[in-house]
Structure 1
Amino acid sequence: MIDHAFLWPDTAEVLANGHLAIGGCDTAALAREFGTPLYVLDAATFDAAARGYLAALARHYPGRSAAHYAGKALLNTAVAQLAARAGLGLDVVSGGELFVALRAGVPAEHIHLHGNAKLRAELQQALEAGVGAIVADSLDELATLARLSAGRAAPQPIMLRVTPDIAADTHAHIQTGHAASKFGFALDALDAAAACVAAAPGLRLRGLHAHIGSQIFSYAAIERAVGVLLDCAARLRDQHGIVVDTISPGGGLGVPYTADQPQPDYAAYVAAISRALAEGCAARGLPLPALVLEPGRSIVARAAVALYEVVATKPLSSADEQPRTKDEPLAEASADPSSLVVRPSAVTRYLHIDGGMADNIRPALYGARYTALLANRAAAAPAEVVHVAGRFCESSDVLLRDVPLPAAQLGDLLAVAVAGAYTLSMASNYNLVPRPALVLVQNGQARLVQRRETYADLAARDVPLG
C-alpha cells in the first residue's frame, strides 16, 4: 500500500517484489527499457479526471457545457488524442500547439486559441483551420483579426478575454486576473473592443473569457470572476445589443503535491461555478449561456510520475543545514513526520539524480514542493531526510527539499508524484542535456509516446561556420 495514495495515479500499487507499478507496469522495468529520466503517464487517471469534469458539468449545469483541456499543462500528439477520446475540447496557446492538436485529429471546431501575444501567422493559421474560437486579448489583436478575416464567407467566432481585477490566492507567478496582469482586456476597454468587432464583418463575438490563475483551492475568487463576466455581458447587451452566447471562467483548480494540501473536488468546483452563473444570469435578466471550463493541471498532474536514477550522494555538514529542535517539523515540503521510523535532527545529505530543473523548472521557478519515494523499494520505511539535487549548473536546481526516504544507494530509482503538469511542457535543453522520454501505460502495456532526445537532435538546428 502506498502512503498518501491520493498523490499518486489511480493505478499505483506496490508489487510483491517491492517495486512501484503504474498502469500495471513495473516502474523499475520501465526504467531499464526506456532509460531515465522518464515520465510515465497513466491513461486511466487522465481519463478518470476528464470524465469527472464532464459528469460534473452534466449534473450541475442546466445549460450547454464543455470542458477544454488546457494543452499548456502537457501536450503532444498522444495527449491531444487522449483528451479528444475522453470527450474534451482543447485550449491551445500557440501555433505549435495548434499544429499538434490538428495533427492528432482534434476537430478544429473543438479548439480554442488563446495567448496574449499571438503572432499574425498564428492568427492566420487559426483562421485557415476554422477553430471554434479565437480568444482575443487586446485591441491591437482585434484590429489584426479584423484585417485578416475580411471577406470571409462565414465570420470567425471570437471571445474576449477580460481582466476581472481579481487577485487569486496563489503564487504571484501564476496569478493572471489582477489589474496589472499582462493578460486580457481591462474592463474599461470593453466598449472599444465591442465597437471594433461590430465594424469587422469577418468576426462574430461569441463569448467572454477570464482566467484568474492556477493552483487555486478556494472557489470564491472564481465565483467573483463569473460575476464580473456577467456584468460585462449585461453591458454588451445594454449598450451594444450583443447577446453573449458563451461564458468561460477558465480553469485553475489546484491539486495537492504534498500530503498537507487539499484534494480537488471536481463536483464542488463545477457546482460552485454553475450556481454562480445560473444565479447571476437570473439576477441580470440574461439568457443562460454555454459554459466552457478549461482544466489542465487538475487532469494531467496526478496522472504522471517522473522517474530518476540516483547517480551520486553528498553528505551535508553542519554548516549546510541548521539542526532542528526535537519538536520542530521537518519542513513545509515534507510528508507527515510521524511516518518516519528514524527521526534525524537535520537533513543528512544530498541525493544527486540524472534529471532536475531542465525537465521540471517548477521548484526553481516558484518554490514548488513534491512528494517522492524509491520506486525499486516502494514498501521500505523512511530512514533519513534528504534534499534531492538535479544535475544542472544552478544552485537553484534542487528538485525536493526535506523529503523522507529509505537510505538511498547509487542506482536506486526515485519516483516523483504529481509530475504531469508544467514539467515536460516547460522543459529545456539547459547544459545541452536531451529532454526525457514519455511513456503511456495502461492495462500492463507501455507505449512510447514521446521519444528521448538525442545529441543529434540537439545539434539539428546548428549551422557550422564551415
Structure 2
Amino acid sequence: MKKILQPEDWGLRVSQDGELMVGGYSAVALAREYGTPLHVVNEARLRETAEDFRQSVETLYPGKTSVHYAYKCNSVPAVLQVIRSAGLKAEVMSSFELNLALHAGHKGEEIVVNGPCKTDDFLRECLENQVRLIVVDSLDELAALNKICLAEDKDADILFRVNPDYTPRGMNQGAATGSRKGCAFGLDLKGGEVTAGFDLLEEMKRVHFLGFHFHIGTGIRDPKDYSRALRCLGPLLDSTRSAGLTITIMDVGGGFASMTTRELTSRELLVYQGIERLPSSLGKATDITFKDFTREVSNTISRYFPENGLPELLYEPGRGIVSPNQFLLLTVHRVKDRPGLRKWLITDGGLGTVTLPTFYEYHEVFLCNDVRRPRTEKVNIVGPVCFASDVVYRNKLMPQVRPDDVLAIMDSGAYFTALESSFGFARPAIVSVSDQGHRLIRRAEVFEDMVCRDLLNQSVKTKEV
C-alpha cells in the first residue's frame, strides 16, 4: 500500500482553518514575518530524533558505541548545538567543518575526520587538535599522514576506509558511495590496496591502525543492506587478524534514510528527466525505525567477533536525523495558466538557489494556507532565476494555488542549506521553532554579504626582474 503523507508524519498539525502549524505557530504567519524563502527547524523534534538514534545504538549493542553526526548534511551552528545537546559527537570532512565542531564545543577526542582529499595542511590541523580518528581513504594519504606525524612528532589513530563494492538495490549512481566502479571512496579490496596498506603500516611507528570504516550510500531504507555490506567484508576481517592486527573499532558510516522522503531510483530519474513523469507518492508505507537498523548492524557485527572481543561500534548518521525536522517555505508570486498545458507556479525559490535536492529526491509539498484543499491538478513549480532548469518539481499533483499562497517543501533538513547558492538571489534565513517560541538562527543574506569577498582596485603584481 502506498504511503499518503500527512503533516502529522513530521510532528506538525493542521489548524481549524486548515493552515499548516509547527509548534503552535502558523507556517503562513512565519513566512509573512520573516520573509521567504525561509527554512523552519522543528527544534524539539530534532533533539528527540537525535536522542532516539543514540539510544537505539546504545541499547542494542553489547559493546561500546559512539554516534558522530555527519556535519556535511546540515552545518547550521544552531542545528549543531541541538544535536550536540542530544549526546552526539562530530564527523567532519574539511577544515571548515573541523572548526565548526570545535566552535560548537566538541573536543578533538569527539571528532572523526573523513574525506578523500585531506590536504597536508588539513592533516596537520587534525593532529594539532588531537582528533580522535582519521579515516584514511587512500594509500597516498596514509604515506602523507605518516610523513607529517614524523615531522610533527605526533601520533595518529586511524581507520581504513574500505570500498565494499556493494550498492543497495535501486540506488542511483550519485548516491552509491560503496560502488567500486562508480565511486572513488575507500581502499580497493579487489585491487589489493588494503593488503598494501597493512604492509606500509609495518614500517610506521606513529600511525596506529584501529579498524575499518565503510559507507554504502545515502537514503538507505532497508536495514539488511548494512548486513549485506558487512558480509562483503567478512574475508577482510579474517585476513586482518591473520596479519596480526587487532580490530578495535568498526565504523559503519551513515546513509540512514528519512522515512518521509527518498532518493529517486535510476529508472525514476530517467523517466522524470525524459518525459517529466514524477512519482505520485513516497511509495510503499513503512514502519521501519532506527532500532531496526541498529539491531541489524549489531547482530551482524556480533556474529563476526567473539563476545569478549567486540569492537567499538561507530555510526555517522546525518539525513535520518535532520531531514524530517526542517522544511522550506516558498511564496507563490505568479501563476501562469497556458491553455492546453500545465499551470506554472512561479515561486521565490528553485533548483538554482535553494531546492537542489528536489532534482533527485521525492519531497512532499503542502499548501500551507489550506492543507486540506483537494489536490486536483498537476502543475510545474519553478523558481525565480532566468534559467530554464530552475525547477522545484514538474508535473506535481497539487491543489488549486493562488498568488501569495505559501508552499512548504518538506524534509529540507538534509543538504538543502549545504547545497544552496546565491545564483542572482540572496541565500535565505532560517528560523527555529521550540516550545518557548520562534527565533532567527540565520539571517537572510544582504548585498554586503554577497560581495564581501570581492576586491576592486588591488595593486597588480608584476614579474620580478
Class of the TM-score when normalised by the shorter of the 2 chains? 0.7 to 0.9
Provide the residue aligned with 1:191 in structure 2. Answer: 195
Q: Offset of 1:406 from its aligned partner?
A: 2.8
**2:62 is paired with a residue of what secondary structure?**
coil
Provide the residue aligned with 1:266 in structure 2. Answer: 290
State the alpha-carbon separation in 2 of the partners of residues 140 and 29 from structure 1: 54
* 1:402-445 residue CA offsets vs partner (Å, 9 max, x unmatched): 33333211111111111111111111122x31111111111151
TM-score after normalising by structure 2: 0.87
Gap runs ≥5 in structure 2: 262-280, 459-465
Q: Offset of 1:465 from its aligned partner?
A: 4.4
Provide the residue aligned with 1:464 in structure 2. Answer: 456
State the alpha-carbon separation in 2 of the partners of residues 288 and 203 from structure 1: 22
Provide the residue aligned with 1:203 in structure 2. Answer: 207
2:184 alignment partner AA: K
Q: Assess, with a 3 A threshold, how the Cα gap between structure 1 residues 395 and 262 changes in structure 2: closer, same or farther.
A: farther
* 1:63-102 residue CA offsets vs partner (Å, 9 max, x unmatched): 1112211111111221221121101111111111111111
Provide the residue aligned with 2:337 in structure 1. Answer: 315
TM-score after normalising by structure 1: 0.87
State the alpha-carbon separation in 2 of the partners of residues 291 and 443 from structure 1: 34
Which of 347, 350, 353 is matched with 2:344 structurally? Answer: 350
2:409 alignment partner AA: V
Q: Assess, with a 3 A threshold, how the Cα gap between structure 1 residues 151 and 196 changes in structure 2: closer, same or farther.
A: same
Gap runs ≥5 in structure 1: 321-347
2:109 alignment partner AA: E
2:363 paired with 1:370: yes
Q: Offset of 1:152 from its aligned partner?
A: 5.8
Q: Assess, with a 3 A threshold, how the Cα gap between structure 1 residues 261 and 87 changes in structure 2: closer, same or farther.
A: farther
State the alpha-carbon separation in 2 of the partners of residues 126 and 317 from structure 1: 60
Which of 284, 301, 321 is matched with 1:299 structurally? Answer: 321
> Is contact 2:213–2:252 with CA below 8 Å preserved after alignment?
yes
* 1:254-309 residue CA offsets vs partner (Å, 9 max, x unmatched): 22324425444211111111111101224xx9821011111111101110110000
**2:148 is paired with a residue of what secondary structure?**
helix
Provide the residue aligned with 1:449 in structure 2. Answer: 441
Farther off after superposition, 432-441 or 216-225: 216-225
State the alpha-carbon separation in 2 of the partners of residues 137 and 384 from structure 1: 49
2:253 paired with 1:250: yes
Provide the residue aligned with 1:359 in structure 2. Answer: 354
Query: Where in structure 2 are the equivalents of 1:293-442 lying within 5 Å?
Result: 293-318=315-340, 320=341, 348-357=342-351, 358-364=353-359, 366=360, 368-430=361-423, 432-442=424-434
Provide the residue aligned with 1:144 in structure 2. Answer: 144
Farther off after superposition, 297-306 or 13-22: 13-22
2:252 alignment partner AA: P
Query: Where in structure 2 are the equivalents of 1:118-157 lying within 5 Å?
Result: 118-150=118-150, 155-157=155-157
Farther off after superposition, 300-309 or 124-133: 124-133
Q: Offset of 1:49 from its aligned partner?
A: 1.7
Farther off after superposition, 298-307 or 230-239: 230-239
2:438 alignment partner AA: A
State the alpha-carbon separation in 1 of the partners of residues 379 and 86 from structure 2: 39
Identity of aligned residues (%): 30
* 1:379-421 residue CA offsets vs partner (Å, 9 max, x unmatched): 3333433221112233222212333333211111111111111
1:109 alignment partner AA: E
Indicate the RMSD between aligned Cα atoms, in angstroms.
Answer: 2.0
> Is contact 1:152–1:202 with CA below 8 Å preserved after alignment?
no
